């Protein structure tokens, strides 16, 4: 069978009384000048039975409503049927869903979170369906709830903060009020989804602190990232500043999260991890930063050698640690030049009579002496 194109897919749907639309983030990304990561489709005017007969290779994966995976243009695409939702319980699963053929694309778009995500593009004609002025809000760089039903799903408040950080958009005042209403339900949501959103922010946002600031402004930070919420206000502000400074020099999520270790100690970081299982490299890097800046608060040659040896086998490289501390403006020594100085003088070798641990102690002593010499000869190292 030849590869199914989007046009062919849309034509088959239209020939059988339906209509196919691109929806959601891929339409939004088009108007933001970004390459869509995922292309999702919405079907109007067709029942599931007919769709399955037309596309035998489609894999049904939806439980609460009809959703299929279908290979279009060589990639697996999600194809959902237009639906409406009625809130009948708590959380993001607490909805009664209707996916009848008579439901229009406009009705499907109405159930979505913000106006910039409530647009569709006809897969046959390219016509843009934008009943809630999403394109104008993209132009104005503002996030606005599509309807009062925004607060029905508490996870929308978390994504709102994520989009504000990732896109650099402001948030409409009425939408902020709707987000505040999600406080109690959001605290009961799966923590895995919170980590997922945090990961997107750390990888993509120019100023990731905006994510946490929006959550703080809406009173949602204690329900999501309580370890940060528990910080004194001045330490929270300091931590957010350091996070953005590090983000300005690297897009690595591990290093960006490691900046949190500047204001959170090992105990709080481990509590955070125990509560929502952070990626291992994030946790290890942040703990390393927390421990190391404490060790180097009053740097001595012995402490510097100890730090360099730990970093050689730890979660952060010496180069990554220097990058982070320079970006964050921390008053600790640059370690790369000190590491380079930790070599034996020309012609000096380990005494033959030394064995086992004695060799390690002799080398450590020589490394300390080398670092001391470097510190005295290079004042700039201590003036980072």
Q: How confident is the model at residue 158 (pLDDT cuts 50, 70, 90)?
A: very high
Residue ranges of the chain that CATH labels 1.10.110.30: 141-224
* The 3-state secondary structure of 11-33, one letter per residue: HHHHHCCCEEEEECHHHHHHHHC
Q: What is the pLDDT of residues 177-207, one digit of tens each?
A: 999 999 999 999 999 999 999 999 999 999 9
Residue 182: name the closest of 232, 229, 113, 115 by CA.
113
CA 308/CA 147 separation, integer angstroms: 55
- Confidence at residue 286, expressed as pLDDT on a 0 to 100 scale: 97
CA 34/CA 188 separation, integer angstroms: 33
Q: What percent of the chain has pLDDT over 90?
A: 77
CA 242/CA 357 separation, integer angstroms: 40
> Please, what CATH class does the domain formed by 141-224 belong to?
mainly alpha
Q: What is the pLDDT of residues 243-274, one digit of tens each?
A: 999 999 999 999 999 999 999 999 999 999 99
Judged by DSSP in three states, 157 sits in helix
* Number of other CB atoms surrounding residue 53 within 10 Å: 10
Question: CATH fold of 1-138, please?
Answer: Beta Polymerase; domain 2 (3.30.460)
Pairing of strands 84-87, 128-129: unpaired
Q: Whole-structure pTM over 0.75, yes or no?
A: yes
pLDDT reading at 345 higher than 90: no
Q: How confident is the model at residue 376 (pLDDT cuts 50, 70, 90)?
A: confident
Q: How confident is the model at residue 292 (pLDDT cuts 50, 70, 90)?
A: very high
Is residue 109 within 8 Å of residue 149, measured between CB atoms?
A: no
Give the mean pLDDT of the chain. 92
Residue ranges of the chain that CATH labels 3.30.460.10: 1-138
């Amino acid at each position: 069978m030849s590869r199914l194109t989007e046009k062919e897919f849309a034509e088959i749907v239209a020939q059988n009384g339906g209509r196919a639309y691109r929806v959601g983030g891929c339409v939004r990304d088009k108007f933001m000048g970004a390459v869509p990561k995922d292309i999702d489709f919405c079907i109007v005017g067709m029942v599931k039975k007919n769709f399955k007969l037309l596309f035998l290779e489609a894999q049904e994966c939806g439980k609460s409503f009809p959703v299929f995976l279908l290979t279009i243009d060589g990639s697996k695409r999600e194809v959902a049927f237009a639906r409406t939702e009625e809130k009948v319980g708590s959380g993001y699963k607490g909805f009664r869903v209707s996916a009848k053929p008579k439901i229009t694309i406009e009705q499907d778009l109405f159930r979505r979170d913000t106006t910039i995500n409530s647009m569709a593009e006809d897969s046959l004609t390219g016509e843009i369906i934008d009943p809630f002025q999403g394109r104008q809000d993209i132009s104005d760089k503002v996030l606005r709830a599509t309807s009062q039903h925004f607060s029905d799903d508490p996870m929308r408040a978390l994504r709102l903060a994520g989009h504000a950080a990732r896109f650099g958009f402001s948030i409409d005042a009425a939408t902020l009020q709707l987000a505040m209403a999600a406080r109690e339900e959001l605290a009961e949501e799966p923590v895995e989804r919170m980590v997922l959103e945090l990961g997107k922010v750390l990888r993509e946002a120019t100023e990731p602190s905006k994510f946490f600031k929006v959550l703080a402004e809406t009173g949602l930070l204690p329900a999501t990232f309580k370890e940060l919420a528990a910080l004194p206000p001045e330490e929270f502000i300091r931590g957010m500043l350091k996070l953005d400074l590090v983000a300005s020099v690297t897009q690595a999520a591990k290093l960006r999260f490691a900046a949190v270790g500047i204001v959170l100690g090992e105990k709080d970081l481990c509590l955070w991890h125990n509560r929502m299982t952070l990626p291992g490299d994030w946790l290890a890097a942040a703990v390393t930063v927390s421990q190391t800046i404490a060790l180097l608060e009053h740097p001595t040659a012995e402490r510097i050698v100890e730090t360099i040896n730990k970093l050689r086998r730890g979660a952060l490289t010496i180069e990554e640690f220097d990058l982070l501390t320079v970006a964050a403006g921390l008053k600790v020594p640059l370690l790369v030049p000190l590491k380079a100085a930790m070599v034996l003088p020309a012609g000096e070798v380990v005494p033959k009579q030394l064995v086992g641990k004695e060799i390690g102690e002799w080398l450590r002593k020589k490394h300390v002496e080398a670092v001391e010499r470097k510190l005295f000869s290079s004042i700039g190292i201590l003036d980072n």
